[in-house]
């Protein structure tokens, strides 16, 4: 399975290798099985991996660490917004979370 993955540094102040990195994965349809998303997050080995569903400026969003799903992650949310806004040219994005 091939999925687009972006690594984004949120809260960057001075250039490369700064900020707080998060992976952002756009899923082609509905959510993958939780065990698959957890395995992807574990493979990325970043603090959080954000998974997105949907198209346009309304997206589903979930966050996984290498060990478990978490209820909220600020920097991965900002990273997800950046990926969507850069890809679509939209001025806003809305997330639906659990």
Q: Is 42 part of the annotated catalytic residue set?
A: no
Catalytic residue among 48, 55, 86, 92: 48
The Cα–Cα gap between 64 and 35 comes to: 10
Question: Are 37 and 23 within 8 A, CB to CB?
Answer: no
The Cα–Cα gap between 26 and 70 comes to: 18
- Token representation of residue 71: 């209820």
The Cα–Cα gap between 91 and 70 comes to: 27
List the catalytic residues.
48
């Amino acid at each position: 399975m091939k999925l687009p993955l972006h690594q984004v540094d949120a809260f960057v102040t001075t250039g490369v290798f700064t900020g707080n990195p998060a992976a952002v994965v756009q899923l082609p349809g509905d959510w993958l099985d939780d065990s698959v998303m957890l395995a992807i997050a574990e493979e990325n080995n970043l603090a959080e991996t954000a998974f997105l569903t949907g198209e346009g400026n309304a997206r589903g969003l979930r966050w996984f660490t290498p060990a478990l799903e978490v209820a909220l992650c600020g920097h991965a949310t900002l990273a997800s917004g950046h990926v969507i806004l850069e890809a679509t040219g939209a001025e806003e994005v809305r997330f639906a979370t659990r």
